[in-house]
Amino acid sequence: RFRIAFQYAVMRTASRWADRSILTVPVEQVPWLNPTQTKATFIPVGANISEAGFSTKSNGRRPRTPRTVAVFGVTGGVGIAPECVDIGYAVKHVSNRVGALRLVVLGRGSEEAEPMLRREFDGTRVEVSVLGLQPAKDIERTLSEADVLLFVRGHISTRRSSAVAAIPCGLPIVGYRGSETGGPITQAGVELVVQGDREALAEALGRVLAEEDLWRELHQRNLRAYAEHFSWDAIAERYIQTMASDCPQSALLTDPLPTHAVSPAEPKL
């Protein structure tokens, strides 16, 4: 508690000193900031996925078995055990209903979590594949080929880049909602339940995997949300608007942003 209180105090001080604060969650959902603070602007994080990774699977997913559940990132340290239990409960529950599944775990913490995950699924109809840290292109391919992203690293918000990464891939997301969960990520293809409710999490995961119409709806919502809010062009435009509002003269001097001017950096995952 002392650490959190100290961090909040530092951030409030920095915000007072700054001419403009850029926040990655909506201003009204930042616990340490007065919601009437006029110097704060909300701009979500973008996905570290190139434009080439933008999904074109508009006609639905390919018929195949088993269905694939992706998990992108596992919290290290003491967070590993409860997250592995959540993953295990949800995926095993769905497997009992729909049959064999494939679980693909990648990103930070995945290799550390591998022994516990393999114990969770020992003797089940779930095939476990742990990929560890991956380059951006491989992440694009893995997420684009999956059927759903299961996100249990706390609650989903617009600052969670490992959740946002699924959006340009058109990959439906099942996870927890919490205090920072709000627009525009709630406009994307997400099915969210109260944090810690494993039964509801499993039910949501089962619906997305079993109901083709629901999957297609969430897929299309992701593509729209990406184009409107999470693409690098959309984010760059928000920054330009913010700078122009602070310095009106800059709006007259700034050329239109070239379509090739913004490209994501290679993520450190």
Residue 220 lies in a domain: yes
Q: What is the pLDDT of residue 86?
A: 98
Count of domains for the chain: 2
Give the residue among 167, 152, 144 at the shortest CA–CA distance from 91. Answer: 152
265 part of a folded domain: no
Q: Which CATH number is 207's domain given? A: 3.40.50.2000
Query: Is residue 254 a part of any domain in this protein?
Result: no
269 residues of the chain, pLDDT tens digit each: 778 888 888 888 888 888 888 888 888 888 888 766 678 888 999 887 765 555 555 555 666 679 999 999 999 888 899 999 999 999 999 999 999 999 999 999 999 999 999 999 999 999 999 999 999 889 999 999 999 999 999 899 988 999 999 999 999 999 999 888 988 999 999 999 999 999 999 999 999 999 999 999 999 999 999 999 999 999 999 999 988 876 655 444 455 555 555 444 444 45
Which residue range(s) make up the domain with 192? Answer: 57-226
The pLDDT value given to residue 214: 97
* 39 plus 115 within the same structural domain: no
173 and 106 housed in the same domain:
yes
Q: Report yes or no on 142 lying in a domain.
A: yes
Residue 258 forms part of a structural domain:
no
- State the pLDDT at residue 266: 46
User: 182 and 118 in one domain?
Assistant: yes
Predicted local confidence at residue 267, as pLDDT: 47
Give residue 252's pLDDT. Answer: 44
Name residues whose C-beta falls within 8 Å of residue 135's C-beta, 6 or more positions apart in sequence.
Answer: 266
Residues 125 and 6 placed together within one structural domain of the fold? no
Instruction: Give the start-end residues of each E strand in the chain.
Output: 21-23, 40-42, 67-72, 101-106, 126-132, 148-155, 173-177, 190-194
- Pair (118, 191) in one structural domain: yes
Classify residue 196: in a domain, yes or no: yes
Q: Let me know whether 170 and 145 are in one domain.
A: yes
d(CA 106, CA 24): 24
- Would residue 113 count as lying in a domain? yes
Cα 183-205-73 angle, rounded to 5 deg: 70
Token match 């406009």: residue?
187
Report the C-alpha gap between 80 and 74 in whole angstroms: 7
Which tokens go with 86? 């959540």
Same domain, 117 and 21: no
Q: How far apart are CA 160 and CA 151, in angstroms?
A: 10
Based on the domain organization, do 38 and 87 belong to the same domain? no
- If we measure between CA atoms, which residue out of 134, 159, 22 comes closest to residue 70? 134
Asked whether the beta carbons of 74 and 103 are under 8 A apart, the reply is no
- What is the rounded CA–CA span in Å between residue 4 and residue 10? 10
Whether residues 68 and 145 fall in one domain: yes
Look up the pTM and report it.
Answer: 0.85
Pair (37, 84) in one structural domain: no
Is residue 154 in some structural domain? Answer: yes
| Cis amide bond preceding 184, omega within 30 | yes
Do 42 and 165 reside in the same domain of the chain?
A: no
Same domain, 178 and 65: yes
Q: What is the pLDDT of residue 51?
A: 56
